[in-house]
Amino acid sequence: MWLKRYQIENVVPLLFTIISTYFVSAYRNYRYYNYVGIGFMVIGLLIWWIGKLNLDDAFHSGIKPKRLVQTGIYSKIRHPIYIGLVLTLFGWSVYLLSIMWLGVTISTLFVMILRAYKEERALFRKYGKRFIAYKLKTWF
């Protein structure tokens, strides 16, 4: 059980970090769009890791809320892990000038919006007015 939880919580963002680092280090003849892509990757990975670390033991791969986290980055953004993932993928698509990766990014964005909607419904059912007050103070 611990290994499965460890994989979900840490291996996926770690792989994205390693792959992004590879993109940056593997290519030497940078053009302006490469720098823009790197910027999106760095910002996305930072937001993703900060969000993941702020969740601590409240992280759950399912749609079952453990507790309502309202501190750290969650005091400004309700879904930083999703935003970070999408920004990282967008950075890849810009860095590589890849329509395919842009398609992956857009598809992931739609999946993350749907997942966020389901999570917010579950949070509303569990926390009611407390979640509504939190939602009014934060962005996506």
Q: Which domain holds residue 110?
A: 29-57+69-137
Q: How many domains, the chain? A: 1
Burial 66-92 (b: 16+ CB within 10 A, else e): eeebeeebbeebbbbbbbbbbbbbbbb
Give the pLDDT confidence score for residue 65 in this predicted structure. Answer: 76
For residue 119, being part of any structural domain is answered with: yes
The Cα–Cα gap between 3 and 83 comes to 26
For residue 90, being part of any structural domain is answered with: yes
Give the pLDDT confidence score for residue 12 in this predicted structure. Answer: 73
Give the pLDDT confidence score for residue 4 in this predicted structure. Answer: 53
Whole-structure pTM over 0.75, yes or no? Answer: yes
Strand partners, 112: none
For residue 62, being part of any structural domain is answered with: no
Give the pLDDT confidence score for residue 117 in this predicted structure. Answer: 94
In the chain, which residues have pLDDT < 50? 1-2
